[in-house]
Amino acid sequence: MTFFLLAVEVLVSLAVLYLLILAAVCKFSVSPPRMPQFVTPGLMGEQNETVTIETPDGEKLRAWWVPCAGKTTVVFAHGYFTNRCEFVPFVTRFRDRGASSLFFDHRAHGTSTGKRCTFGIEETLDVASAVAWVQSKRPDDKIVLVGNSMGALACALMCANDQDKIAALVLDSPYAMVAEGAAGWWTFFARGRFKGFLRPTAIFGRLFTGVDLKSIDLEPALEKIESVPTLIMFGCHDPLISREKMDACIKAAGPLAEVVWFSDSNHARARFREPERYSEALFGFLERHGLLTAPDSSRERSSACVARDSASCRIDHVES
């Protein structure tokens, strides 16, 4: 009897310890360490202004504004665990094509205020606030949203709710559901070493974020986006979204949607592993919709992506 009670006590202690570890990991996840800035528009040789954007719920988003004489502004929404520096290396190429750029830190990232990350849910307010800021600054500009991972989901959700404000939408490696993305994150971040052990962290999601992480789904958001040209870029080995869910999102996307597959990439790595094809897809898409003016030297490259077969860089026009 004593041995049985001792065994029960050990098992209960281990279970409590396991739950405490899960809770600590979840707390760490919703309040990630702030990544330091690693590149700025100034370092890229571009004049810029540091601005603060206020959200309706009181957060202050820090941003870089890089103006240009053209009539297009691109708003960049970074992914989880990073900051506004993520897309800065593209700033000169957008400026050369006549577009202004706004790079902002999401709440709880970079130098913005905020103590919790909701993985794309409340970040939708960040995107909407950035769009409102651009509209107040450049009311005649066409606004393009470019988002990566968490930022891509936030951009899609914002666009679905207010698509009249958006001229084009670019989604790089969006995950479709926060819970699925969280489970896949451990495969991506730790090469799967802790995937099974840490999968139950999702049960603490609502406790630490204050929102229902299962309430958001990319698929119905894409169904609502009918009038905005949309480019979706997927890595074929992305662990944050299943291939079945990718296909469902593609099917849900409207008639103006295009999809690019990167066969050698996983989550959000196409920019680094297949940079030429990534640039061709991104700039070619925006040039075809009249939102950028291609420099003469890039016109041939912009059309080359369309001609390649699916093994290298496929662009699919999604039927409604």
Residue 295 has pLDDT above 90, yes or no: no
Task: Show the tokens assigned to 66.
Answer: 């890089």
pLDDT at 315: 40
Residue 259 structural domain? 43-177+216-317
- DSSP classification of residue 55: -
pLDDT at 119: 86
290 located within any domain: yes
Q: Phi then psi for 232, rounded to 5 degrees?
A: -115, 125
**β-sheet bridge partners, residue 63:** 51, 104
2 located within any domain: no
CA distance 302 to 283: 7
Residue 4 has pLDDT above 90, yes or no: no
At 320, the pLDDT band (50, 70, 90 cuts) reads very low
pLDDT at 161: 95
pLDDT at 107: 97
pLDDT at 171: 98
pLDDT at 310: 32
At 200, the pLDDT band (50, 70, 90 cuts) reads low
Question: For residue 112, which amino acid is it?
Answer: S
Mean pLDDT of 279-284: 97
Helix (H) or strand (E) holding 262: strand 257-262
Point out the least confidently predicted range of 32-41, 84-93, 282-291: 32-41
pLDDT at 316: 40
Mean pLDDT of 272-294: 96
153 located within any domain: yes
Residue 78 contacts residue 126 (beta carbons within 8 Å): no
Domain of 296, CATH number, reads 3.40.50.1820
Helix (H) or strand (E) holding 134: helix 123-137
pTM for this model (two decimals): 0.84
Integer Rg of the chain from CA: 21
DSSP code per residue over 105-120: PPTTSTTS--S---TT
What is the number of domains present in the chain? 1
Could you tell me which residue, 40 or 116, shows the higher pLDDT?
A: 40
Residue 183 has pLDDT above 90, yes or no: no
Residue 314 has pLDDT above 50, yes or no: no
157 located within any domain: yes
pLDDT for 208-239, tens place per residue? 566 666 778 999 999 999 999 999 999 999 98
First to last CA, the chain: 67
Point out the least confidently predicted range of 25-39, 202-216, 245-259: 202-216
98 located within any domain: yes
pLDDT for 45-102, tens place per residue? 999 999 999 999 999 999 999 999 999 999 999 999 999 999 999 999 999 999 999 9
pLDDT at 5: 77
246 located within any domain: yes
CA distance 51 to 151: 19
20 located within any domain: no
Residue 70 contacts residue 100 (beta carbons within 8 Å): yes
Point out the least confidently predicted range of 43-52, 99-108, 297-306: 297-306
